[in-house]
Amino acid sequence: MKKWSIVILGLLLTWALVEHMIPSSDTPILSIRESIHEHHDAGQVEQRDLSRDSKVDKSRTTLQSLVQPTEILNASPYQVEAYEVFSPLTKKVLRKARYERCKRRLKQKPFTFLQLTYRSNGLKINAFMGLPEGFSPQKRYPVILFHLGGRLGLSRFHACTALLVSRLFIEHGYVVVVPQYRGVAGSEGTEEFGGAEVTDTVILTQILKQVKFIDSKNLFLSGGSRGGMMVYLALKQGAKVNAAFTYAAPVNLYRTIKDFAWFEPVVLTKLVPGFSKQRDSEIQKRSALFWPHLLHTELLILHGKKDKRVPHLPVELFCQKLRSIGRKCQLSLYPSGTHFNIYKQSRREVLTWLRQRYKSGTLEAVAPKGL
């Protein structure tokens, strides 16, 4: 069953690439087609035409009955959405003119985004996969599972967030996967804040390790703001990755409540089931400062001293606690860093840090571009 699930995933990804991506001169379409057959034992595979014919359509319609509940159900080219689909809250922080600029710039980029749908605890969850320029399924790529910040629709993946992760990682040879939280932009379920959606990330890490062109030894977790909190929660739940790094991530929600009067009634009360009955318990569950002993993965924490949304002092204390119990924690504070420019300011450091933590094989296969 697992073997067939991997084959079907390969079929879908390959179909999307063949139909919607112009391969580089050294990656002929034939090699992409042939790569998926390596998942079978020699002599047991029927060669198929991967054009949009009845066999591919049949594979798509029968996929759910062939795969495990947590496998990828669909892979198709990412279609950039119209600005009109966004919520009023999203439109308030993302002006149409800026979004249209992001759309134009994304269209000019030489890489490809796919939209995936996978099953997690009975729900269909969307995710987005960015493939670097010159992508070849014959290679094995390091992957970064990146979590977006925001809540109540602000965490929706769109053209501007695609540009953010592409500049940071895809342009340097990484495959990047961005999960779409429950209840947002087509993902089933109810939106929460550091709750049941954490399981979706843990399951996705397991799924990605089955993908042929993913280097399972070099899977990294990352996220910014609320997305950084998601990283800590996923690690606490047992996500197995090489290392993790966060941007402007809160580690003490008591401090957030103190600094922003709206945070508790607008976010926690609405998005945390049973919050009013178990207030302290639910706050501490989402505050990594209270459970550093449960984290065993090496961390790089990036934060700005001018961050007015997530102050850096609790983050410093958090890293100190990790070090005091023998955990690996590197904290980089940027004097002029804010909640938003920390991504750009820390770009060089992050890329260097990642390269230093590659496990064998990846550098030779991908050879990411220079800084």
Per-residue pLDDT of the chain (371 residues; tens, 9 = 90+): 544 444 445 544 544 444 443 333 333 322 322 332 333 333 332 322 322 333 333 333 332 332 333 478 888 899 898 999 888 888 988 999 999 999 999 999 888 899 999 999 899 999 999 999 999 888 999 999 999 998 877 888 889 888 988 888 999 999 999 999 999 888 999 999 999 999 999 999 999 998 888 999 999 999 999 999 999 999 999 999 999 999 999 999 999 999 999 999 999 999 999 999 999 999 999 999 999 999 999 999 999 999 999 999 999 999 999 999 999 999 999 999 999 999 999 999 999 999 999 886 544 444 444 44
Domain count, the chain: 2
CA–CA separation, 318 vs 330, rounded Å? 11
Task: Give the domain extent around 24.
Answer: 1-68
Query: Do residues 26 and 168 share a domain?
Result: no
Query: Among 49, 44, 37, which residue's Cα sits nearest to residue 8?
Result: 37
* Cα three-residue angle 205-288-178, rounded to 5 degrees: 30
Query: Do residues 45 and 164 share a domain?
Result: no
Q: Using the 3D structure, point to which of 44, 68, 92 is the last residue of a domain.
A: 68
Query: Do residues 16 and 162 share a domain?
Result: no
Query: Do residues 89 and 114 share a domain?
Result: yes
Side chain identity, residue 318: F
Query: Do residues 177 and 156 share a domain?
Result: yes
Give the CATH number of the domain where residue 211 resides.
3.40.50.1820
Q: Using the 3D structure, point to which of 68, 92, 124 is the last residue of a domain.
A: 68
CA–CA separation, 248 vs 134, rounded Å? 32
Is the residue at 371 inside a domain?
A: no
Q: What is the pTM of this model?
A: 0.81
Query: Do residues 2 and 81 share a domain?
Result: no
pLDDT at 61: 34
Query: Do residues 99 and 180 share a domain?
Result: yes
Query: Do residues 52 and 177 share a domain?
Result: no
Is the residue at 10 inside a domain?
A: yes
CA–CA separation, 260 vs 243, rounded Å? 31
To which H or E segment does residue 97 belong? helix 96-108
CA 346 to chain centre: 18
CA–CA separation, 310 vs 269, rounded Å? 20
Q: Which residue has the tokens 């049949």?
A: 58
**Are 111 and 128 in contact, with CB atoms under 8 Å apart?**
no
Q: Are strands 299-304 and 329-334 parallel, antiparallel or unpaired?
A: parallel
To which H or E segment does residue 127 belong? strand 123-131
Q: Using the 3D structure, point to which of 32, 49, 68 is the last residue of a domain.
A: 68
Query: Do residues 296 and 147 share a domain?
Result: yes
CA–CA separation, 22 vs 366, rounded Å? 19
Query: Do residues 143 and 35 share a domain?
Result: no
Query: Do residues 80 and 5 share a domain?
Result: no
Query: Do residues 171 and 319 share a domain?
Result: yes
